[in-house]
Every structure is written in C-alpha cells, then in structure tokens.
Structure 1
C-alpha cells in the first residue's frame, strides 16, 4: 500500500505570471495537507515572477526550488518538470500560475491514492470551479459521467492539467516518452499515456480549484456556446486532424507499452482516418473511441464522415 503521508511535489510552470501568481502560491500555503514541496520551472519571465517565488520560499517551511525552464513552450515546460531528477516525491501535481487551489485539493487527491494499490500507474483529476479575472464565480466545468479510459483519451482530453495528480509509477512511465516526441499538451499526453499502458485514471466530480478565465489562457473552460463553436471550428479548420496526427505519432512511438486491447483501439482508429467512407465509419465504431456527451459523439462521427479526424 502507498504511504499514508506521501510527499506531494507540486510542478509549477511559470512565464510572466506575476499578476496572479501570489494568489496561487498563497493557496498552496493554505492547503490542509502540508506534506508538499514546490518545484517552479520558469520559462524566461521578464516580470516579477522570480521575486514573488523567492519571497514565498522564504516564508514557508516547505522546500521550494526555482529553476530555469526550457523556453520552448508551455507543454515542454511541464514535460521538463516531469523529467526533472530534483523532484523526488510520492505524488506529483501539475500547477498553472494563475489559478487558486481550494484548501482541500491535495487532501482530496491523497485520500484517493491511499485507497489504491501502489504498483500501477495512477492518475487523479477533477472538475473545476470557474472564475473571471477578478475572482468572480462563472460556474463550473462540464460534469463528465463516462469512464476516463483510453477509448476516451484517444479523442478527448477531459483531464485539466491544473487538477492532475499522479503517482511515482505514472511519472516513471511518462519519463519513457522519447525526448524528441511532439505533443499537443502535457495533460492530454498524461491522460493518453497512463490509460494506454493500463494505468488507472480517476475523475473526481468535486472541484479542486478555481480556474481563472482571463482571456490569456492557453486552454479555456470548455463550456457554453462559445466553447462549442470553438470545437466546431477545430473540426472545420483541420485542427482536430493536426491534433490526432500529433497524438498518433506519439502513441506509435510508445506502442510496445500499450496493453494489447489498447493497441487494437489505436490501430483501428489510425486506419479509420485513411479508409474509404464506409470502412472509416465502421472502424471508428469498432475502435470503441468516444467523447463524453451524445452531441460530441455525433460530432465525432460527422467529423469521420467528412474525413476531418
């Protein structure tokens, strides 16, 4: 069984985050679970980010490390944190620079991990509460009800990286990714990798943080009419095709690590993208891939119908 008091390493990626960073760091201080340490990878900030991190480090008893990031983009920064040999812990939690963690965030995650068997890769993520730039409530992220498995991860990322916590076995698996692999995002990579190799992913419908929407987010809230229009445009303008191409290239490179069942899912989905129309729809169906809602599944098959996968 895992440790009953595991050390959680918070993996915080920053770049010019001074505007909201203090609130995020203070939410770490306010955690009801105190056995954590913080590794900050800063991607060349020119604002007060480093000063803010330094002041926070001097004010808490937990270990805080600030180191330079690779300066190749947001997901490369997070991947570098996963690979970092300085981040030695039992559990690992991604963090953005502009959210506010709820006080019980780490306690919720640790409680779930404590109930699991330690031997296999484990991934935990949650729903989020949405807030605007000034912290006013905007509602909640979608509530997902279908299982978080590889068939879903193939075509949809439901795990917000800012909520993700994973164990040592999951981190070791993620570190086997070729260093030159291209990814769409660090959280989709994590969801696909852990479920693909037979690990367990758990979606907690209880929000664990306040996800700030301020117009500069790399990824937005995924709710409402605007978000649906964005997803429709992604099908229409070829972004989904590009995402799937990138994901499939990555998954092909780790194909030997996939479970036999998931290898079949991958093979059928990959073949479907280049098959003739009747065969394309059949292979998508046989692959078992799915999105979380009925409307989105209709969109998936419409995308397949017009060759936009």
Structure 2
C-alpha cells in the first residue's frame, strides 16, 4: 500500500484489512511524502492492531506508479521464497471481508509457473461509502492486445501470483502510465493468465481526489474519452507500445510480432494504420462505440 495525503480515508481501509477472512497476510507500505498525517496514522494502526508490517517510507515523493513499483520489487523476494501472492491496496477503499480469500483461491487454480493476474469487479461508493452501483462487468475475457486500448485491471482489486511478480520485477513502467495498467500489459503480453472475478471485492470510493476513478456506465466512459480527446489517448498508446518493444524479450512470440507491427504502423501514414486495424480485429475496447472511437483515433493519431 502506498499512501499520499490520504489520512481522512485510511482508517476504514486499514480496518478492512484486519477484517479479512484470509488471515495469513502482511502489509508492506510506504508513504509517498504526504503533507498530512497519513504515515503517522498507518504506524499507529499497525502498532495498535499488531499487524505484521514493513515500512518502506524514505521521505521521497516518487509518484503513484514508482511508489507502488518500489513496493512490488521489495515484495518480490518474499513472494518467491514463500510462494505468496502480492496484492495492491489503495489508501481510500474498503476491502470486503473475502477479498484476499477469493484472490488466493482463484490464483491457486493457475499453474504456478504461469504468470497470473487476478482482478475483480467493485462496488462503487461515494466518499461517505454510500452505494453507487456495481462497476461494469468484464464481458469477453480481456487480454492482449486489447490491453493496449483500455485498462480493465482496476488496481485496488489486483493480485499477482509469484510468477507474475517475478516477471514484473524485470520491467520498469514507462513514464505516464499507472502500475495496474503496466502489470496488466506485461502479464498478458508475456502469455500469462488473466483471472477475472465477476463478484465485487472492494468498496471503490469515488471522490474528487481519485487518481483515476471508475465511470459507472458505458455512456460516462464514452463522454470521459471524448473529453480527454485523441492526443492524450494516443500519447499513452504510443508510450505503451514502445515500452513493450523495449521489453520484447519478455513477451511471447505472438505479442512480440503485434507490438513490432504496431510500432512500425505508428511511424507510418494512415493507410498503414488502416491495414493494421484490418489485421488486428482484437484491438477492442469494452463497447462497440468505444472501439469505433479508438479506431478513429488510431488512424488519425
């Protein structure tokens, strides 16, 4: 768990960790240079609840992705030695009591030599934990190259088996991306498994300070995409493609060919991009309208 100026929501999240039905866990956390009393709240709670915890706080502000990645790399040795899974925990959510148990059970069904990423739906709530409904369902099982068009692995639900942690430790997320999206990209592009839980496992708090947040309908997602415009989207798309090219040695053969083809296409004209789309029908987003918008931006961008 990485904290940053999240004191007002931290107690509820920490209490939900203690209430997990899966009891064998430990907390690895760092504060990312908060100006409020986030780090003091975590330390006080850890001491009072006698939680097995490792504090990696060093006073630096790294940003959300780098902070989580530093924690992931620290956890990697323990995951490998103990066969433990690693789960991302946001500071402002509330985990349902069976969150860890469901992740452990689901990942336990995967061959331990295969990198696997677990993610699940969320119960969306407002800042006061009032119900806003369920997050959208996953539809067709997501994977690569769909992972390039949209992140469906919501970080507050993500858990990784030891093989996935070892794989991710060998990478470095590019600037401008988030830790959960990069994990989703690498695991699927390397031929790993996506394990999708259709049941909600967290209360995903929606408030003005969310790093991302979760639009609750296809219409809201479409409106949000239009407001962002093609520039921001295609910048992220290009960054991800080139970062995957740089990590091509970790990808499976099919994914390696796809990222090289996309990289060449993005350097060429619109005709090349149209041909690429014709050959890559799986470059999709969650809905048909979002997919059409993505394809338009890909050709124009």
- TM-score range normalised by the length of the shorter chain: over 0.9
2:26 to 37, 59, 66: 37
Once the two structures are superposed, the pairs formed by residues 96-245 of structure 1 within 5 Å of their partners are: 96-178=90-172, 181-224=174-217, 225-236=219-230, 238-245=231-238
1:83 to 73, 80, 90: 73
Work out the CA distance in 2 between the residues paired with 1:85 and 1:133: 30
1:292 aligned onto 2:293: no
Q: Which runs of 5+ in 1 are unaligned?
A: 1-11
For this pair of structures, how many residues does the alignment match? 294
With normalisation by structure 2, the TM-score equals 0.92
8 Å contact kept, 1:222–1:228: no
Work out the CA distance in 1 between the residues paired with 2:64 and 2:258: 29
1:120 is displaced (CA, Å) by 1.2
Deviations 1:113-153 (A, max 9, x none): 22221111111001111000111001111111122211111
Q: Report what 1:267 is aligned to.
A: 260
1:21 to 6, 10, 14: 10
8 Å contact kept, 1:183–1:250: no
8 Å contact kept, 1:150–1:192: yes
Work out the CA distance in 1 between the residues paired with 2:98 and 2:76: 26
1:183 is displaced (CA, Å) by 4.7
Larger mean CA deviation between 284-293 and 17-26 belongs to: 284-293
1:189 is displaced (CA, Å) by 0.3
Greater fraction helix: 2
Q: Report what 1:73 is aligned to.
A: 63
Work out the CA distance in 2 between the residues paired with 1:264 and 1:272: 12
With normalisation by structure 1, the TM-score equals 0.90
Deviations 1:25-77 (A, max 9, x none): 00001101011100111011222212211222123344112221541211111
Larger mean CA deviation between 208-217 and 263-272 belongs to: 263-272
Structure 1 residue ranges (4+ consecutive) displaced by more than 6 angstroms after TM superposition:
none
Deviations 1:197-245 (A, max 9, x none): 1111112111110100111101011334443222112234x00111012
Superposed CA RMSD in Å reads: 1.7
Work out the CA distance in 2 between the residues paired with 1:182 and 1:247: 9
Counterpart of 1:84 in 2: which secondary structure? helix
